Structure formats: structure tokens, C-alpha cells
Chains A and B, each alone.
Chain A
Amino acid sequence: DAKTTQPPSMDCAEGRAANLPCNHSTISGNEYVYWYRQIHSQGPQYIIHGLKNNETNEMASLIITEDRKSSTLILPHATLRDTAVYYCIARANNAGNMLTFGGGTRLMVKP
């Protein structure tokens, strides 16, 4: 898996959009960008993934730059329950079994 770099922490006001950046400058052409989050003491929760096109689902939007060297996860209307550690992973379909989460970004949504 390509190395990813994320800011260690971010704050966001409740109801505002949370924009979480991720750098993956060494990403390979066959590697997808995945986002997971982990709320304290719970299993990692899948959020969204994409290859090169922007993606949107009921949880979030994923914006991938044209050169694919970075991406941004957008939570359009953050709630207190979105407080969690968010992990960005670059992973190919034929990747090994090691799912490596880096340090992630600890998002604190404040009232």
C-alpha cells in the first residue's frame, strides 16, 4: 500500500462541512483510495472509496485530484457523532492481507 499522510487532528463546528485531507503522492495506478473511520472502541467503519473519479454516498464525498496525489474526504454537515479518527488508505485490489492504518486524523466535532 502506498504511504499516506494526514494531519493528526482537526476541529469542526457542528453542522459545518468537515474537509479531511490526505496526501498519497506515491500512489500507483491500480491503487484505490479508501477512507475508514474508527469511533472509540469500535471496529473500523468503511466510509467511501474511489480510483480517480470523485465519489459520493450517503455518508460523505471523496474528491481526488487529477494527478491522484491527494484527496479530500468531505462530511457535508458534521454532527457530534462524526467525532472519530479518520484513516485514508491507498490499496490495490490484489493487495496483501495487511490492512495498514496510519496515524489518521482525529476529528473533533464541537457544538
Chain B
Amino acid sequence: GAGVSQSPSNKVTEKGKDVELRCDPISGHTALYWYRQRLGQGLEFLIYFQGNSAPDKSGLPSDRFSAERTGESVSTLTIQRTQQEDSAVYLCASSLDRGRTGNTIYFGEGSWLTVV
């Protein structure tokens, strides 16, 4: 696609429910990132996928958070038993490859999650 696509753009869920957020990276981009941004705060790294390598999950805040990616395509971020502190915008980004000249990371518009 022309850009990184995320869905849903907005999600309101009840505390304790599970949510799935989807990211469709730019075609051909092997690297995919998930970040979280709480209102008025900076980016918080969650997880990174690079091709078929094992993902870097070092940023996931708890075992309620998980993400999958099949090959170099769509990724899904799952939050189980949501809590109010999970309310944030979840940003997906992709890039061609780490190490290439000018490794520009492109972001999607984000999925706004509100846990009530």
C-alpha cells in the first residue's frame, strides 16, 4: 500500500475485554514496529519484527500484550484483559531494513484505544 495502514482507528472497550489491533505495513518493508503513545507523552517502544528473525519483544509492558506477524505482511497486536492504563494511541511503523542507507521509519495514523 501507499502507507502504513492501521485498524481500527478508534476502539472503545470495557475493562477486562481483549482487543486486537491490526497493522498493514508498506509493501516491501521488512521491518515492522509497534509503539504506544499516551496522551501528551512520548513514544514507548513495544515490539519489533524484522523479516523471519525472532521478534524483539523487550518493550512489551506485561504478558497481557502480544503481537504476531506472518512473514513480511500484516501484524496484529493483542491486548488481553485490558486495563484503563492501556488507554493510548498504538502506532505501527515500518521501514525497509535496518542498516540500509537512511533507514526511514514511516508511521501509520494509529489506533486510539480507550478502556472504560
Contacts and interface: CB of A to CB of B under 8 A. Distances in A.
A46 to B, nearest CB: 6
B110 A42 contact: yes
Interface stretch (A4-12, A20-28, A72-80, A95-103): A95-103
B107 A44 contact: yes
A50 B50 CA distance: 24
Contact of B99 (A34, A44, A45, A93): A93
* Residues of A in contact with B, size category: 20 to 34
B100 A100 contact: no
Interface string B36-49: 00000011010010
B18 to A, nearest CB: 24
**Does more than half of chain B's interface fall in helix, strand or loop, or is it mixed?**
loop
**Does more than half of chain A's interface fall in helix, strand or loop, or is it mixed?**
loop
B56 interface: yes
Contacts of A68: none
Contacts of B62: none
Interface string A8-51: 00000000000000000000000010101000011111100101
Nearest to B92: A43
Contacts, number: 57
A34 to B, nearest CB: 7
A100 B43 contact: yes
B89 A93 contact: no
Contact of B102 (A44, A93, A98, A100): A93
Contacts of B58: 97
15 contacts: A34-B104, A42-B110, A43-B89, A43-B109, A46-B104, A49-B104, A91-B103, A93-B100, A94-B99, A97-B33, A97-B56, A97-B58, A99-B43, A99-B45, A101-B42
**What 9 A-B pairs have minimum CB-CB distances, sorted nearest first?**
A43-B107, A97-B48, A43-B110, A44-B107, A93-B103, A43-B109, A98-B45, A43-B91, A93-B99
Interface of B: 4, 33, 35, 42-43, 45, 48, 56, 58-59, 89, 91, 93, 98-110, 112
